[in-house]
Amino acid sequence: MYGIVQNSLKDLVISLEGEEGWQAIVMKAGTVAEFNDNQRYEDVDTFNLVAAVCEKLNIDSEECLEVFGVHWISKTTSETHGGLMNVTGKNFREFVGNVNLLHDRLSTAYPGYIAPRFEISDQGEYMEIRYISLRKGMSAFVKGILKGLAVRFSENIVFIKQVDESTDELECTLFLISVE
């Protein structure tokens, strides 16, 4: 993952636990404390940081990643890619419908970036959002992102169902949500 991800996690941790809390997490994770937004880091480094955050905050990884996903939208992407976020959609449905285009644009800024794909089916009363990625273990982060987008657009979403459709090669999660 690119350093922007680790820096976002760092920002979240410092907002909750202060700089001392972040330093303790870095020590526990056995990783560096500073990351370059535009540099690629091993996924294992990110997951080690998440595990250390979970231990420090006494929460499970699903909850941690979900909170991180909300933070990713509310703070990180708004500050670093605000213009791109604004043109991707004017409401939740439009934004989610254009998220693959957003990822395509981001791949020009982050060489070697392997973006997840989303299959979107808008059924009127509810949406089917299928998250597909080569990267395993990020579905809870995506759920947080969806929650963060709802807040961004002042809309309410209700998670009706979440189905794990993963294979040995891909993480695949189907989210059925209603948008109010």
Q: How many CB atoms lie within 10 A of CB 54?
A: 17
User: Among 83, 129, 140, which Cα is nearest to 106's?
Assistant: 83
pTM, two decimal places: 0.94
Amino acid 114: pLDDT? 87
Q: What residue ranges of the chain have pLDDT lower than 70?
A: none
Q: What is the pLDDT of residues 67-82, one digit of tens each?
A: 999 999 999 888 888 8
CA separation for the pair 178, 157 (Å, rounded): 5
CA separation for the pair 88, 98 (Å, rounded): 6
Amino acid occupying residue 168: D
Q: What is the pLDDT of residues 116-135, one digit of tens each?
A: 999 999 998 899 999 999 99
Whole-number average pLDDT of the chain: 94
Amino acid 81: pLDDT? 86
Q: Which residue has the tokens 């800024």?
A: 109
Q: What length does the chain have? A: 180
